[in-house]
A and B are shown apart, each in its own frame.
Chain A
């Protein structure tokens, strides 16, 4: 208990509670559902302060969350660069058999960034797709189009065979059996001063029509080309 007020030396009578201290109800504010607002006021001070504090909090959270999100998503939108790499003389390759070559897909990460490609010269009697400057040499990617295991060219059968789930591709890389959804990918090639050079990857449909590179398991025939659209990371020619 506090000591009596008289002991404190000063006497403050408690003012009687006046009914006038209660703010008269305003038909305007009551109607608008904003209790305590002055007449004509659309936003009370309390509401303004609450909103400001919430807004500042959201701003502060966004200031670190959005850059972090961008950081994580950034690589999806980054266009890749590529380099033409020489893999040998035109004379090193022939029309009837594949010659394996190791190329660098991603540089700077050692063995993990390398991959094998099977290379041969274009053979007009079996290669029915239209000829242009990029397919005078045919470089087949060894990435199986089921789920990405490395295929091998088996000479006895003349086919590409995947060790994981038994995908089989014919001599041109077109799917013959097993779970793969499209032919083996290829690389753009060109001949510069007698040297064969390998460029970026492209995918093909079952008629060997070119598409931008897709991941394994993504068909590009029919509706597949729309269900698995081209990616932002596709390098520009």
Chain B
């Protein structure tokens, strides 16, 4: 079967395959080479059927403008904060019981008795704060560098939706330990939603699943916190990243545009 040929990619030299110099080796194939060959074979097998490598190259080996600096890593930092929340959240869900009578007890068990429970819960609890802070820093970077301007407005809009979803995660997650602070903070938060004119009373009934904080409130918040919003966030992060890769990043505002040599020449001629 013929191997698929992709157009010459902008792969950095370190990643490019180097043929062996003639005369090296004695014709014997070393086990390490065999293992490497096997790995390459597997990757080739997948790539031949999916053509994923082109997309990966497109995503990873992008040209970035001059002046790119550490501020440009805030988006990736937020992404990793989200991944950390997702992973620790999945494992917390193995111990957590979203019922009004058992929630506090299950969180107490995670914190005090489960192996590494305090660590994983601490990661999730502090990680949520870190994620919110990183989202705002990332937003500030985008704003002050003017990176929201044409043609990146849609990415700003997606980012704002992601900000709102992140706040939704923080709000719904706050109830789950079900201690005094969680309970009263949620009462206050839901009542703030209720103060919206006309739809407010129905909105707060919707959030609580009834006119009073009841048996369904906690499970509703739990479902929103661990199923609904994370799915939306993951999908929108995909769209966000796609647009970043497609449109490229901006240079910082203090980098001045280079003079076009052809234009210089033209000016001189005139």
Q: A residues engaging B (CB < 8 A)?
A: 72-73, 75-76, 78, 80, 105-106, 108-110, 112-113, 147-149, 164, 213-218, 227-234
B residues less than 8 Å from A214 (CB atoms): 201
> Do B200 and A231 touch across chains, with their CB atoms under 8 A apart?
no
CA distance A215 to B194 in the complex (A): 7
> Do A233 and B205 touch across chains, with their CB atoms under 8 A apart?
yes
Question: Which chain A residue lies CB-closest to B205?
Answer: A76
> Do B215 and A233 touch across chains, with their CB atoms under 8 A apart?
no
Q: Which of A109, A227, A230 contacts B198 (CB 8 A)?
A: A227
User: Can you list 17 A-B pairs with a CB-CB distance of less than 8 A?
Assistant: A75-B206, A76-B205, A109-B100, A110-B100, A110-B101, A113-B213, A147-B187, A147-B192, A148-B188, A214-B201, A215-B190, A227-B197, A228-B201, A230-B201, A231-B205, A232-B202, A232-B205
B172 contacts the other chain (CB 8 A) = no
> Do A72 and B206 touch across chains, with their CB atoms under 8 A apart?
yes
Q: Which of B188, B213, B215 contacts A149 (CB 8 A)?
A: B188
Task: Identify which of residues 165-202 in chain B touch chain A, using a CB-to-CB cut-off of 8 Å.
Answer: 178, 183-184, 187-188, 190-192, 194-195, 197-198, 200-202
CA distance A109 to B195 in the complex (A): 26
Q: Which of A75, A110, A113, A218 has the most CB of B within 10 A?
A: A75
A residues less than 8 Å from B238 (CB atoms): none
Least CB distance, B120 to chain A, in whole angstroms: 26
A75-B216, A108-B215, A112-B213 known; A231 vs B202 contact (CB < 8 Å): yes
B residues less than 8 Å from A106 (CB atoms): 210, 212-215
> Do B195 and A148 touch across chains, with their CB atoms under 8 A apart?
no
Give the A-B pair count, Cβ closer than 8 A. 89
Known interface pairs A72-B206, A109-B215; 18 further A-B residue pairs with C-beta atoms within 8 A, sorted by A's residue number: A73-B206, A75-B216, A76-B202, A76-B205, A76-B206, A106-B210, A109-B214, A113-B214, A147-B187, A164-B188, A214-B201, A215-B204, A217-B191, A218-B201, A228-B197, A229-B201, A231-B202, A234-B211
B residues less than 8 Å from A233 (CB atoms): 205, 210-211
Question: Which chain B residue lies CB-closest to A213?
Answer: B211
B209 contacts the other chain (CB 8 A) = yes
Question: Which chain B residue lies CB-closest to A227?
Answer: B197
> Do B191 and A148 touch across chains, with their CB atoms under 8 A apart?
yes
Closest 9 CB pairs of A and B: A109-B100, A215-B194, A75-B209, A217-B195, A227-B197, A233-B211, A147-B188, A148-B187, A106-B214
Least CB distance, A144 to chain B, in whole angstroms: 9
B residues less than 8 Å from A234 (CB atoms): 211
> Do B200 and A218 touch across chains, with their CB atoms under 8 A apart?
yes
Chain B interface residue count, CB cutoff 8 Å, equals: 29
> Do B211 and A216 touch across chains, with their CB atoms under 8 A apart?
no
A residues less than 8 Å from B212 (CB atoms): 105-106, 113
CA distance A233 to B205 in the complex (A): 8
> Do A147 and B209 touch across chains, with their CB atoms under 8 A apart?
no
A residues less than 8 Å from B101 (CB atoms): 109-110
B residues less than 8 Å from A80 (CB atoms): 210-211
Least CB distance, B105 to chain A, in whole angstroms: 11
CA distance A215 to B187 in the complex (A): 10
Task: Identify which of residues 200-238 in chain B touch chain A, using a CB-to-CB cut-off of 8 Å.
Answer: 200-202, 204-206, 208-216
B residues less than 8 Å from A72 (CB atoms): 206
A residues less than 8 Å from B190 (CB atoms): 148, 215
Least CB distance, A71 to chain B, in whole angstroms: 10
A residues less than 8 Å from B206 (CB atoms): 72-73, 75-76
Question: Which chain A residue lies CB-closest to B194?
Answer: A215
CA distance A119 to B197 in the complex (A): 32
A76-B206, A80-B210, A110-B100 known; A216 vs B216 contact (CB < 8 Å): no
CA distance A114 to B206 in the complex (A): 21
CA distance A161 to B209 in the complex (A): 29
B residues less than 8 Å from A164 (CB atoms): 188
A residues less than 8 Å from B202 (CB atoms): 76, 231-232
CA distance A75 to B204 in the complex (A): 11
A76-B202, A106-B213, A108-B215 known; A113 vs B194 contact (CB < 8 Å): no
Q: Which of A113, A214, A217 has the most CB of B within 10 A?
A: A217
Q: Which of B187, B201, B210 has the most CB of A within 10 A?
A: B201
A residues less than 8 Å from B198 (CB atoms): 227-229
Question: Which chain B residue lies CB-closest to A72?
Answer: B206
> Do A228 and B200 touch across chains, with their CB atoms under 8 A apart?
yes
A147-B191, A217-B195 known; A231 vs B201 contact (CB < 8 Å): yes
Q: Which of A214, A215, A217 has the most CB of B within 10 A?
A: A215
